Amino acid sequence: MTATQGDLASLSRYIFRAPRWYASVTFALLVAAVAGVGAFDAGFVLEDAWQGVFFIGVPTVVASLLTTPVDRRLGGQLTYNRSSLLALTCEGIIVAIMAGAGAVAVLSQRLGQQFVFDALIVGLASVFALRLLVVMAVSGRSVLVAAVPASLQTGAAAVLFFIYSGTMKYLHVGGGPIVEVFFNRVEEAPRALNVIELQDFALLALMCFIYGFAVWAFVKFIDRPWKRSLGVSVLDFLRGFIGHIAEGTTELEDFFEDIGEEAVVPVTVLAFRRPGDGSEKARFVLPMIHPGPMGEIGGGNLPQRVAESAEGVAFPPHATAGHDFNLVTEREVETLVETANEAFADIEYHDTATPAVRVQEGDAKIVGQAFGDDALLVATYSPEFADDVEYAVGLSAAAEARSAGVEDVMLVDAHNCNNGLEGPDLGHVYPGSERSFDMMQAAGEAGDRLAESEQAPIRMGVAWDETEWEPLDGIGPLGVRVTILEIGDHRTIYVLVDGNNMEPGLRDRIVAALTAPDSGAAADEAEVMTTDTHVVNQVEASNQVGEAIDGDELLDVVQRLVAEAADDVEPVEAGMASERAEVTVFGNDRTETLASHANAVMSMGAALAATVIMAAMAVSLLIFFLASS
């Protein structure tokens, strides 16, 4: 993850789950009652509260209940939860504007009730503009179509003011007593509405047109770079992002599918089976895909899906791939699982392996073991900070190991030491960097040493615990998994934590505890890996292992599992095979382009929105000045 991508991911802290629609409506009515007590003067508190509920709360309820069916009838997809929250927000805007205008009117000697109602006109027009923007973003409709559901709250308020202000008297409309009863109820209205005249409704319509045009111009302006470089609309991204975070929808996948590119990725499987009955004991599965972008969107939950496909205990570590190799939809995961099963079916097993070797070149450290003619390599930069290793770097490093004498290579990015979203590049390992050459040289040297090492029979033990931790704690559904490999009198321990990277120093503490001469583990070599699952990043952009949970507690879990795995040690056979899968991923530089565009919208969009609002307000003041002169 680059710094730009980190800035985009950090925006998730501003998103929250939309409350249930009935909770929003109930709170809206409560706010309306309180506002009524302050706005009206009927002589009784309960009467004032009722008038507030009627004139302020009823338009909110109408918008809450009718926006969704009207929007969906026009091809949109607003839910009741979203439309109710939007209506409540708009009610809050109206109450705030009315309260501010009332305070100004009280303090001023020249401004009266008409000023307050003029402010209400601006508030209703502002509400229409906000609703128009949200409906366009969430439902993806044109400005004219979106204007229909967007106008419900403003329109409902205007109808009530028309009926109860006596505006009917300005219109020479027949109809007899029925019209008088239903459309001219001035006697039952608060005295504050007596200032309303027919021209005020014309002003409201004009204000809505001006504010609606401002929204359209704002969207068109910020949309141009998105359509030019990505061929999609910024509203498509906002709709999917909000839908996924607020209600767990998969709309974001539709957006990613539009910008995705086809890619061919290796899928490598290292399997262990019992020699007696041939039953599977454990399986390492490594698709060269990044398990992102977040939550269960795309490949965010790839490790769990891979683990569920194995008969034995599955270990799905992180591959050398960055966010450009995120899957665009969850459907693509099935392709990878099927490819892994094809590779598993082609495995030729061996009953010997080499002891683990550790090689260091610069900041890069690699622990490797050969199983027959194939090799498992686990790379880390700890205690230095590092995040994702680019796809091309991983392919090159694996090629270096193969050129040294091993056939197939499973190259794992341990992904076990980083400082979150701090720093300029977040530890990204890209082609041409010194770190990339360190990894390639270390992989080549590891391949040389493994090719020359003597092999001995394999004994293996495994253990795992889902743990009581949850994604908000930085731990995914796979929990913690441990495997012990004994080759002769040499013991290697691999620990896999279902999380997204680790706090600095935590990996080193675990490795030191497992390799200490006086420890119960008595390991000659040990390495800690994370799956890089992104289910832990649905709300928190940085939620590394050790951020939310205590490191000592994790170490206790690991040591307990190591003891259980030691009791499970038995002879096994091992084999490795690889296949290639064709999937759709984000594509080269698409993630960076998307992140930079989104960050630009967030940083410049606020200033542009403020400019548009000020311009619209200036036009409003000019119109009010001309209307009153």
Beta-carbon contacts of residue 291 (< 8 Å; ≥ 6 apart): 299, 300, 301, 302, 303, 318, 326, 531, 532, 533, 534
Are 375 and 415 in the same domain?
yes
| Residues forming beta bridges with residue 576, ordered by sequence position | 270
Q: Which of 330, 323, 306, 305 is nearest to 248 (CA)?
A: 330
Query: What total number of domains does the chain contain?
Result: 2
Angle between helices 80-107 and 113-139 (to 10 degrees): 160
C-alpha R_g of the chain? 32
pTM for the complete prediction?
0.75
> Rounded CA gap, 411 and 319, in Å?
7
Q: Give the model's pLDDT for residue 230.
A: 74
Beta-carbon contacts of residue 479 (< 8 Å; ≥ 6 apart): 464, 465, 466, 467, 469, 497, 498
DSSP 170: G
- On whether residue 4 sits in a domain, the answer given is no
Contact between residue 554 and residue 506 where contact means Cβ atoms under 8 Å apart: yes
> Rounded CA gap, 284 and 342, in Å?
14
**Angle of CA points 113, 119, 120, to nearest 5°:** 90
| Residues forming beta bridges with residue 284, ordered by sequence position | 270, 315
Are 182 and 94 in the same domain?
yes
Write out the residue range of the structural domain in which residue 236 sits. 20-246+603-628
Burial of residue 108 (number of CB atoms within 10 Å: 0-12, 13-18, 19+): exposed
- On whether residue 230 sits in a domain, the answer given is yes
Q: Which of 216, 223, 305, 295 is nearest to 252 (CA)?
A: 295
Amino acid at position 412, single letter: V
Are 432 and 549 in the same domain?
yes
Are 511 and 574 in the same domain?
yes
Give counts: helices (H), strands (E), the chain: 19, 13
Are 478 and 566 in the same domain?
yes
Sign of CA dihedral 69, 64, 152, 237: negative
- On whether residue 594 sits in a domain, the answer given is no
- On whether residue 40 sits in a domain, the answer given is yes
Are 357 and 231 in the same domain?
no
> Rounded CA gap, 531 and 476, in Å?
9
Q: Give the model's pLDDT for residue 625.
A: 64
Q: Say how many CA atoms lie within 13 Å of 277 toward its Cβ.
A: 3
> Rounded CA gap, 580 and 211, in Å?
54
Instruction: Count the Cβ atoms, other than its own, within 10 Å of residue 198.
Output: 13
- On whether residue 368 sits in a domain, the answer given is yes
Burial of residue 543 (number of CB atoms within 10 Å: 0-12, 13-18, 19+): buried
Are 242 and 332 in the same domain?
no
- On whether residue 546 sits in a domain, the answer given is yes
Are 499 and 414 in the same domain?
yes
Q: Give the model's pLDDT for residue 182.
A: 45
Q: Give the model's pLDDT for residue 178.
A: 45
3-class SS of residue 504: coil
- On whether residue 252 sits in a domain, the answer given is no
| Residues forming beta bridges with residue 359, ordered by sequence position | 366
Are 344 and 451 in the same domain?
yes
Q: Which of 159, 216, 217 is nearest to 184 (CA)?
A: 159
- On whether residue 595 sits in a domain, the answer given is no
Are 235 and 352 in the same domain?
no
Are 437 and 518 in the same domain?
yes
Rounded to a whole number of angstroms, the distance between the first and last alpha carbons of the chain is 60
Contact between residue 52 and residue 35 where contact means Cβ atoms under 8 Å apart: yes
Q: Give the model's pLDDT for residue 176.
A: 46
Q: Give the model's pLDDT for residue 200.
A: 76
Are 68 and 122 in the same domain?
yes
Q: Give the model's pLDDT for residue 181.
A: 45
pLDDT average per 10 residues of sequence, the chain (629 residues):
52 60 90 78 69 84 94 86 90 86 73 71 89 85 90 90 64 48 50 65 87 87 78 76 66 76 94 94 96 72 88 95 87 93 95 97 96 97 92 95 93 92 66 95 96 96 96 94 96 96 96 90 94 80 88 96 96 97 82 64 64 70 62
Q: Give the model's pLDDT for residue 574.
A: 98
